Chains A and B, each alone.
Chain A
Amino acid sequence: MPVLTKPKLLFDKIWDSHCVTNLGGGYDLIYIDRHMLHELGSDVAFEMLNQRGQEVRRSDLTFATHDHVISTAPGRKDTTWPDGINYIKKLRENTSRHSIQLFDLHGSQQGIVHVIAPELGLALPGTTLVCGDSHTCSVGAVGTLSWGIGTSDVAHVLATQTLVQLRPSVMRIECAGRLPAGVTAKDLILALIGKLGADAGTGYAIEFCGEAISSLSTEARLTLCNLAIEMGSRIGQVAPDDTTYEGLSGRAFAPTGKDWEQALAHWKSLPSDPGAHANREITFYVDRLKPQITWGTSPAHVVDIDGVVPNPDDVADSLARAGMQKALSYMDLEPGTRLTDVAIDAVFIGSCTNSRISDLRAAADVIKGRKVATGVRAVVVPGSTKTRKQAEAEGLNKVFTAAGFEWRQAGCSMCVALNDDRLDPGQRCVSTSNRNFEGRQGVGGRTHLASPASAAATAIRGYITDHRSTAK
C-alpha cells in the first residue's frame, strides 16, 4: 500500500526538515543553514559572543559583508565615511578571528546582504537563512526560508547555529492574472500592502503564488518578497521553479556536479502539495493594476500613481485617521492633491528592494537620451559590486551619468541614510527603497516609494510621474 502523507505547504516542508527539537508551547529549535552578517548588525553580537568566550559554531555556514555604514562614493576608502571606520575594521577583525568568509568593502563580491546572498548562490531553495536585518525576507524569493533577527539572536545563531522560534501560521496570496505592461513586482507588493495593511502579515509566513508570480523573474520575486516585512511578515516566499534553478546554476557558492543533481531533486519536492491549505488564503487580481506610489509614512499609505492624496476624514477608524493626519502633516501634503502634481527634490534608485541589474536596466530605458530636471539630485546605487560591474559593461552607467545621475558604489546608501547619501530636512524624494518612515532617508526627509521606472521618469520631469505617460 502506498504511504499516504498529509499534503504540506512549502513553508511546512522547510520548517519541519529544520526542526532540531520541539520545545513545547509552539516553539521549535530551528537549524540555520546560512547566517549572513553585516558590519552594523553583527558588531554587538560579536561582543556578546566574545564576552562569553564562545566560538562561532559553524563559521563555514556564516558569511559577512560591509554594506550599511559605508561610503558609496566612487573611489571610496575605509576612511571616506568617518562614522563607519570602526565598523569596517571590527567586522574584519571578528571575521578573521572566527574564520568567517568576508566579502570585503573592496572585494568583487561585496554588496547589500540581500543582493549578494542570491547573487552568490548562498541563498538556496529549501534552506534556512537568517541575518540581523529585517529585509532578509527578500531571499525567500528563491524558495529559501529566511527571516530577519535582532542582535541577541545574531549572537544566538553564532553560538549555536540554531534559533528558538515560534512556528508562524501561513498566509498564501495567490496573484491571479498577468501584470499589465509597465507594472512591476514593486507595484504589486505595494498594492497588496495598501489593500491588506501594514500588519496583515503579523504572525504569518507568506507564500506568494499564482500566474502573476510564476511569470516573474527571480529578481522581480526578490523585490516582491523584500516588502513582506512591510506587511508585518518576517517571512515571504515563492516556491522554486525552473526560473529559480536556471538563475542559481553556476553561482559562486551554488552546489555543483553530483551535489547539484541531489539538490535539484530535493528542490523539486518543495512546492506546496495540491490539497495543502494555508491558515489564510487570499486571491488578488492583478490584471488592472497600475504603478503605485506612497503618499504617507507607512508603506500601506499607497495609491495609484495617477491618483490623489486620500482624505483622513473618509476613514472611519479614529486611530488610522490620526495616523493619516500625522503622515500628511509630516509629508506636507493636502488631501485631494494629485500625486503627479507633487514636485520632488531627489530621486534614489537603489536598496535591497530595487538595485539589481534588471532594475537598473528598467530605469536606464526610461532615462536614455533625457536629462534630469533642473535642481533634482538623482542618485543610482547598484546593490552589489558585481551588479555595478555588469551595468558598466552594458554601458548603463553612461546612460545615467549623461542624464545627470550620480553613479555610485554598492551599499545600502539612501535607504538607511547612514552616510552622506541622505536628504536634507524638508526635501522630498521618490525612492525605489522599501520604507517611507519619518526620517528614514535623513532627518525631516520625505519619501515616496515607487518602482525604478517610476523613479526614473520622476527624475526627468521633476514631479512624481507615471512612466507610462512618458514612454518613448
Chain B
Amino acid sequence: MNSPRISGIAATLPIPDIDTDTIIPIEYCINRDRPNFDVALFRSWRYLDDGDERPEFLLNTDPYRNTKILVAGANFGCGSSREMAVWALVDFGIKCVIAPSFGEIFYDNCFQNGLLAARVSRSAATTLSQAIEQTIGLTLEVNVSEKTICISKSEIFQFELDNLRSEMLLHDLDPVAATLTQIDAIEGFEKRDRLRRPWVTPH
C-alpha cells in the first residue's frame, strides 16, 4: 500500500479554465516518451520561444521548481483528452492538483497515473491560494485516506474523493486486470445482447 500522505511545496496558479493545451502544447505530445514530458509542462508560460526560461513564471523560481502540490482555479484540465497533460505534471514531480473543479477526462486520467486531483470548495481553493501567496515555500500536508489538506493544525480543508479513486491511488490498482475479473459478466452481456440487438455488430 502507498502512503496516504502527500507533503511538499505548494504553488498556485489562481486562474480558471487552465486547459490541457496550456498544460502541454500538442507539438510536445508527439514523438516523446515517458518520463520526458516534464520539459513540456506549461511550455508557453514557462519558456520563451527561443527556449530560455521566463524568469517571472512561478515554477521557474526557487523553491517552486520543487513544487509537489499545485492549487488552481476552477475547470483545471479542461479541453483535450491528451493523457500527456497528466504525464507532464507527474514527470515534473507534481503529486497532487487542487481545484474547485476539473475537466472530466483529465480527472479520470489523473487517477490512471497516480496523480491526486483533489476537488475542494471555491472558498477553500481561494484560502489555499492566498496562504501560498503569503508564505514563500509553504508546505501543505495532504492525506488521501482522510481526504484532508492541512496548512497547519488549525487550518484543515476537506476534499472530495470517492472510494474507487482513493483505492486506485493507495493500492496502484490495475484497472484492466480488475475488469478482467468480470470477464464472465462481460461474456454473458455479449451473449444476451447478440439476441437482443443483432443489428449492433457490423457486417
Contacts and interface: CB of A to CB of B under 8 A. Distances in A.
Interface of A: 20-21, 23, 25-27, 29, 31, 33, 40-41, 44, 52, 54, 60-61, 69, 83, 86-87, 122, 124, 126-127, 132-134, 148-153, 155-156, 159-162, 164, 166, 198-199, 202-203, 229-230, 232-234, 253, 255-256, 259-260, 262-263, 266, 297-298, 300, 319-320, 322-323, 326, 416-418, 425, 435, 437-440, 443-444
Given A326-B15, A437-B21, A149 B81 contact: yes
Interface string B95-134: 0000001111100110011000000000000100000000
Interface in B29-63: 29-31, 44, 49
Contacts of B164: 23, 25, 27, 164
A134 B81 contact: yes
Nearest to B29: A40
A31, A44, A160, A319, most chain B CB atoms within 10 A: A319
Contact of B79 (A124, A255, A437): A437
Given A23-B164, A155-B176, A199-B74, A148 B186 contact: no
Interface residues of B, number: 57
A261 B78 CA distance: 40
A263 B171 CA distance: 43
B182 to A, nearest CB: 6
7 contacts: A31-B186, A33-B200, A124-B199, A134-B105, A148-B81, A160-B179, A259-B199
B176 A266 contact: no
The 6 closest A-B pairs by CB, nearest first: A152-B112, A259-B199, A255-B199, A150-B109, A199-B75, A150-B83
A431 B15 CA distance: 25
Nearest to B197: A266
Given A152-B112, A262-B199, 13 more contacts: A83-B31, A124-B200, A127-B200, A150-B105, A150-B109, A153-B108, A198-B16, A202-B102, A202-B103, A266-B199, A319-B14, A425-B49, A437-B79
A150 B112 contact: yes
- Among B81, B105, B185, chain A packs the most CB atoms within 10 A around the CB of B81
Nearest to A39: B30
A127 B197 CA distance: 10
Contacts of A263: 197, 199
B185 A29 contact: yes
Contacts, number: 182
Contact of B104 (A29, A61, A156, A232): A232
A40 B81 CA distance: 11
Nearest to A153: B108
Nearest to A231: B78
A200 B54 CA distance: 33
Contacts of B74: 199, 319
Given A159-B176, A160-B179, A232-B103, A151 B17 contact: no
A394 to B, nearest CB: 29
B171 to A, nearest CB: 15
A21 B185 contact: yes
Given A122-B202, A255-B199, A418-B26, A152 B109 contact: yes
Interface string B164-180: 10000000000110111
